[in-house]
């Protein structure tokens, strides 16, 4: 009986030893998803990777990062902790590390400088760090030498009121010339162009100074300038802008709400018509209206929009530079194309024109007559291909292309009937 019990105990021990020795060293040894997901090898937990395309499924060591174990406290994430940690609420810079702030009293430092190096919200009472106070709670002796927990973290003694106070927006350095810089210096501040003021920004008329000072200021009504005969500033007026400002961007830089007339600025959202400008054939040049580029007449007194027909250009690009609504008819600029038969000329002069029905041709080499549209008809395909390869001719509109090599080596006459359109390079 004793022998039987001994044999059973020995079997149990051997079984446990086999189970331990059979424990996987490598997740890759497991070939089924069930075994893989339940197994914890000597190297860690396994995970099953499903098959993808031609890549078979496999078991591998789990690589997913545990979000709890990878979590970092907020203060450890501060960039440049040596300069930014002490300035951050809730953090303290201790032993060259940014860590959780546990209160000023936790740090035994005998100087305010040492306490400030840990947290900007701490000062020293000579024995240990204590919480800094608001400026208004400091005496005259403490005021300008002791940091505060308010404003820009330092205080100023006001001789008029006899009290310690925070710095005001108006006491910022004049180098602060953007709203962002002023807001970083002290919350609630915006720039006045040079230095800061309390938000919202006041109008130009609230500022005083000489011409240079007023020119540097920004008010709620835009850029400022000196009011004539005074020391008061005022908002710049679009109509007073230099005539050299010829683009909308130039005028917007001069004053908000301004757009160009081509020769200066106007306060508007849309340019006025050319007819609102005064001038003749010389002085109207340069003006831009809502109806395009302007021009005038000799001896006239009012400008008008350029007439396309006055532009002698043979490309759409040049005509549109002359006036945005123009295009070319091959010889001059026009407001709209007309059919070839509205032009008159010889075979030479008609060949210049472009109509609504394509490039034009003449019917006579000597006599002027109505032009006609060019068409493809009975063209030898060998010659046609040769011309194409030499870039002398190209087809621009193809409605139907019929080539009958079985009947003859030419294009079918039907090509002409359906106006197979061609164009000639100039």
The pLDDT tens digits for 214-252 are 999 999 999 999 999 999 999 999 999 999 999 999 999
**pLDDT higher than 50, residue 190:** yes
Question: How far from the centroid of its chain's Cα atoms is residue 242's Cα?
Answer: 30
In a domain, 329, yes or no: yes
Q: Once rounded to an integer, what is the mean pLDDT over residues 342-369?
A: 94
Mean pLDDT confidence for 96-113:
94
Residue 402 lies in a domain: yes
Q: Are 388 and 409 in the same domain?
A: yes
Which of 334, 353, 373 lies at the terminal end of a domain, its last residue?
373
Residue 401: band (very low, low, confident or very high) from pLDDT cuts 50, 70, 90: very low
Confidence band (pLDDT; 50, 70, 90) for 305?
very high
Is 389 found in the same domain as 356? Answer: no
Please tell me the predicted confidence (pLDDT) of residue 30: 84
What's the pLDDT at 301?
Answer: 93
Q: Are residues 369 and 388 in the same domain?
A: no
Q: Does position 17 have pLDDT exceeding 60, yes or no?
A: no
| 418 inside domain | yes
* Residue 373: HSE in the Cβ half-sphere, 13 Å Cα cutoff: 16
In a domain, 417, yes or no: yes
Same domain for 385 and 368 = no
Q: Are residues 419 and 396 located together in one domain of the fold?
A: yes
Residue 97 has pLDDT above 90, yes or no: yes
Residue 3 has a pLDDT of 54
Q: Where are the beta strands (DSSP E) in 268-330?
A: 288-289, 292-295, 304-305, 327-328
Give domain status of residue 245, yes or no.
Answer: no
Span 60-84, average pLDDT: 79
The strand ranges marked E within 145-195 are 155-158, 163-166, 189-191
Q: Which residue has the higher pLDDT, 235 or 405?
A: 235
**Model confidence at 419, in pLDDT bands (50, 70, 90)?**
very low
Confidence at residue 86, expressed as pLDDT on a 0 to 100 scale: 94
* 390 shares a domain with 368: no
For residue 197, pLDDT beyond 70: yes
Structural domain that includes position 369:
312-373
Q: What is the pLDDT of residue 292?
A: 92
23 alpha carbon, distance to own chain's centre: 59
- Cα–Cα distance list, 335 to 320, 332, 362 (Å): 10, 10, 23
Are 332 and 368 in a shared domain? yes
Give the pLDDT confidence score for residue 15 in this predicted structure.
Answer: 45
In a domain? residue 91: no
Asked whether residue 425 carries a pLDDT value surpassing 80, the answer given is no
Residues 364 and 415 both lie in one domain: no
Please tell me the total count of domains within the chain. Answer: 2
Whole-angstrom Cα distance, residue 241 to residue 257?
A: 12
Greater pLDDT, 14 or 155: 155
pLDDT at 386: 45
Question: Is the domain of 369 the same as that of 395?
Answer: no
Higher-pLDDT residue of 18 and 327 is: 327
**CA 340 to chain centroid:** 48
Q: Is residue 394 part of a domain?
A: yes
Region 79-108: what's the mean pLDDT?
A: 94
Q: Considering the domain boundaries, does residue 225 fall inside one?
A: no
pLDDT score, position 69: 53
């Amino acid at each position: 009986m004793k022998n039987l019990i001994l044999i059973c105990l020995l079997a149990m021990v051997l079984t446990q030893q086999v189970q331990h020795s059979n424990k996987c060293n490598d997740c890759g040894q497991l070939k089924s998803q069930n075994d893989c997901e339940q197994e914890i090898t000597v190297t860690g937990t396994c995970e099953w990777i499903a098959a993808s395309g031609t890549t078979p499924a496999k078991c591998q060591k789990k690589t997913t990062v545990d979000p709890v174990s990878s979590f970092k406290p907020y203060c450890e994430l501060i960039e440049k902790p040596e300069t930014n940690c002490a300035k951050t609420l809730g953090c303290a810079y201790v032993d060259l590390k940014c860590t959780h702030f546990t209160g000023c009293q936790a740090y035994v430092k005998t100087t305010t400088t040492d306490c400030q190096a840990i947290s900007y919200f701490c000062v020293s009472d000579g024995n240990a760090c204590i919480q800094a106070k608001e400026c208004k709670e400091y005496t005259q002796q403490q005021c300008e030498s002791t940091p505060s927990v308010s404003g820009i973290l330092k205080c100023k003694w006001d001789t008029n009121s006899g009290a310690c106070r925070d710095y005001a927006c108006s006491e910022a350095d004049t180098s602060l010339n953007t709203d962002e810089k002023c807001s970083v210096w002290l919350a609630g501040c915006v720039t006045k162009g040079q230095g800061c003021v309390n938000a919202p920004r006041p109008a130009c008329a609230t500022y005083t100074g000489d011409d240079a000072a007023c020119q540097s200021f920004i008010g709620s009504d835009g850029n400022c300038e000196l009011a004539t005969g005074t020391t008061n500033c005022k908002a710049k007026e679009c109509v007073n802008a230099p005539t050299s400002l010829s683009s909308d961007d130039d005028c917007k830089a001069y004053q908000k709400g301004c757009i160009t007339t081509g020769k200066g600025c106007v306060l508007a959202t849309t340019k006025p018509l050319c007819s609102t400008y005064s001038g003749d054939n010389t002085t109207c040049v340069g003006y831009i209206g809502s109806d395009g580029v302007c021009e005038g007449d000799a001896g006239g007194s009012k400008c008008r929009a350029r007439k396309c027909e006055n532009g002698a250009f043979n490309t759409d690009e040049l005509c549109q530079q002359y006036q945005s609504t123009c295009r070319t008819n091959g010889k001059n600029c026009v407001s709209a194309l007309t059919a070839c038969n509205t032009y008159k000329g010889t075979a030479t002069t008609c060949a210049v024109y472009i109509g609504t029905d394509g490039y034009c041709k003449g019917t006579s080499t000597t006599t002027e007559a109505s032009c006609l549209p060019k068409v493809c008809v009975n063209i030898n395909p060998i010659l046609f291909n040769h011309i194409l390869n030499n870039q002398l001719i190209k087809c621009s509109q193809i409605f139907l292309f019929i080539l009958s090599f079985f009947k003859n080596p030419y294009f079918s006459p039907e090509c002409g009937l359906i106006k197979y359109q061609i164009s000639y390079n100039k």
